[in-house]
Structure 1
């Protein structure tokens, strides 16, 4: 049998990191630098513009369940090719959109197929690394962090040079040129006879259905918290009369620190366990998110954003490692798709509510406050999950 963690496994980790950087950088928070240009051209309120991103995230949620089920029954290469092609084509088509419904539809479709680039690819990595999966998942997840910082940063400069339509077109072309060839590298570990290698893992400590329900509720809340600075940090800073290119630089700095955080928390999950690492990252995120509304100049944002970014970034890595621990390998892509569906819904709700509260009050205070509250409830749920898992592990010992 091909040894999990071999050279081919690490090649796949690297390819997944790049795919996630480009695809999720656009679908999760790449729209953040388009708020002001779209508002200026069409006069749309920020809540309506935020719904464009929410439509993409809703697509990720729905597609996560469907594409996860497909990935458990279909060669992963086919799923990855479909996802990369559709995301690139939809972003290109957004360059010609002129109505909100067109943006909603394009981002929703991109999300549905783009979901095949998340849970199924992380389930694939878990197959290549039955031991020490936290580090491998952390490295792949770091690619997403790089994209969530790099895509808005590059898009801001493209908007300055080409306008918002030219920026969408350029991003779509690059997406197709880079992601589609990388999707061809995706394959499951093989036995010598050509079959898919069996994965020898301990049984989950609690029933999978219970684990999925518990983690789904927690991730809904943790991602509602996470999404607010990802989507609204740039317009928050622009509200202080700071240029969009400089504001996107703060987001870039935050997500560059997040690259290190995702790898570090992946390794931490290997050392102290997935759920304690998840709790640590959630506490970091929850205790710091509201502080963004108290900052008043660019220097403060550049100082604080990387500190926040390093800790918040561990949430997604540790969610993925926790989901891997609590789900059986034969159904992992499907069950992780369900859990991550609630994560993307949390992103959609969090980003929308902050835009809506801004439209109602002219301030981001309530939106960031609601994010912190969601983080507190998430922490309580994860703490209870930890207690339940420890009790079952003790009973099985």
Structure 2
């Protein structure tokens, strides 16, 4: 049996190991960097005297770092291989988090989260999603959905764990424990990662998009859309916990609502990945975005803990499909030879949107003393995203399909 035949037989088993390791790494790191700071709003406000806009800007600086890192680290993974890049990302995230636990000044938090995002999350988010897509040539939508579900698990689990750690240890030691856990748990998993075996058939990937539109135009169009989409998405992720705390509920109970929402989101991400395979990526993306946009403002109308749980579960299933269907949309609409760079650029704008949404949430809360305008702005951003993506879909469907070469 030749080496290539052995690789072919091993790949179906090995790709599931790669997917599992990637999902866990994304869960822990993205759970901390995307919305893990949500349970630190009140402790930092009380302990350090910082405003919520200033605290939200800590998270925004990390997401700006993620955006910048996503632009660069995808190319680094292609040049150096996924293992050293992922290992570097895990170590950078863990070390920066530990150092942040000892920070005394606000600018130190900004700088450390910026580095955690750029050198840590940026080395993991787009490269690992691209890695999963490369290992799963068939059924990539479902595989990306599962990896995205792992991230959803972390975005619910890490804030919940953080809330209990803060209650037991205080915010500084809680942050330090999270950083240590990142290093101990994820370094062995990063060592398991590797790029898929070469096909050996000499095939050249096409520079032509399936729709015939220029790849740069599609990338720019989706980047603009996702900037608004993730502005909407970030608001509940960052401000739902303090919103519920403002209704008189303690942090662990408020974090439990976010956790339950993101547990339902695990099912939603897998389901919408499958839906994208069935009806197409863009229609599935529009369904998920419409779901998110329609329901986001409703959180401000609630006041009972049980109503928050029920509403968060309903919202979470649909919202969860947004990132899964976005990733599949980028994969399906971009030119095969440009998928990695297109994915990195679109994800960069997604994290910029996350940062903008979280920051404006704190800004409008400080200005008004309530969260009504914060969540209203999220709905307006969601509407803008739907208009932009709908225009892209109409443009693609009105064009004649390119003739294969």
Scaled to the shorter chain, the TM-score interval is over 0.9
* Partner in structure 1 of residue 20 of structure 2: 14
Say whether 1:23 aligns with 2:29.
yes
Answer yes or no: is the 8 Å Cα contact 1:68–1:335 preserved in 2.
no
Residues 319-364 of structure 1 show CA distances to partners (whole Å, capped at 9, x for unaligned) of 1011111223433222211111110000000000010000000010
Q: How many residue pairs end up in the alignment?
A: 396
Say whether 1:70 aligns with 2:76.
yes
**TM-score, with normalisation over the residues of structure 1?**
0.96
Answer yes or no: is the 8 Å Cα contact 1:222–1:346 preserved in 2.
yes
The equivalent position to 2:178 in structure 1, one of 167, 171, 176, is 171
Say if 1:395 and 1:200 are closer, same or farther in 2 by CA, change over 3 A: closer
The alignment partner of 1:79 has SS state of helix
Say whether 1:255 aligns with 2:266.
no
Q: Distance in 2 between matches of 1:199 and 1:162?
A: 53
1:392 is displaced (CA, Å) by 3.4
* Partner in structure 1 of residue 67 of structure 2: 61
1:69 is displaced (CA, Å) by 2.0
The equivalent position to 1:103 in structure 2, one of 105, 109, 122, is 109
Q: Distance in 2 between matches of 1:254 and 1:196?
A: 46
Answer yes or no: is the 8 Å Cα contact 1:223–1:347 preserved in 2.
yes
**TM-score, with normalisation over the residues of structure 2?**
0.94
Answer yes or no: is the 8 Å Cα contact 1:134–1:269 preserved in 2.
yes
Say if 1:46 and 1:196 are closer, same or farther in 2 by CA, change over 3 A: farther
Residues 362-395 of structure 1 show CA distances to partners (whole Å, capped at 9, x for unaligned) of 0100010000000001001111111222233545
Answer yes or no: is the 8 Å Cα contact 1:190–1:197 preserved in 2.
no
* Partner in structure 2 of residue 159 of structure 1: 166
Q: Distance in 2 between matches of 1:222 and 1:122?
A: 19
Answer yes or no: is the 8 Å Cα contact 1:39–1:46 preserved in 2.
yes
The alignment partner of 1:131 has SS state of coil
Say if 1:197 and 1:43 are closer, same or farther in 2 by CA, change over 3 A: farther
Q: Distance in 1 between matches of 2:231 and 2:308?
A: 21
1:13 is displaced (CA, Å) by 0.9
The alignment partner of 1:308 has SS state of helix
Answer yes or no: is the 8 Å Cα contact 2:222–2:346 preserved in 1.
yes
1:176 is displaced (CA, Å) by 0.6
* Partner in structure 2 of residue 352 of structure 1: 359
The alignment partner of 1:6 has SS state of helix
* Partner in structure 1 of residue 321 of structure 2: 314
Q: Distance in 2 between matches of 1:179 and 1:396?
A: 46
Unaligned 5+ segments in structure 2 are: none
Aligned CA-pair RMSD: 1.9
Unaligned 5+ segments in structure 1 are: none
Answer yes or no: is the 8 Å Cα contact 2:19–2:132 preserved in 1.
yes
- Between 325-334 and 353-362, report the one with greater CA deviation: 325-334
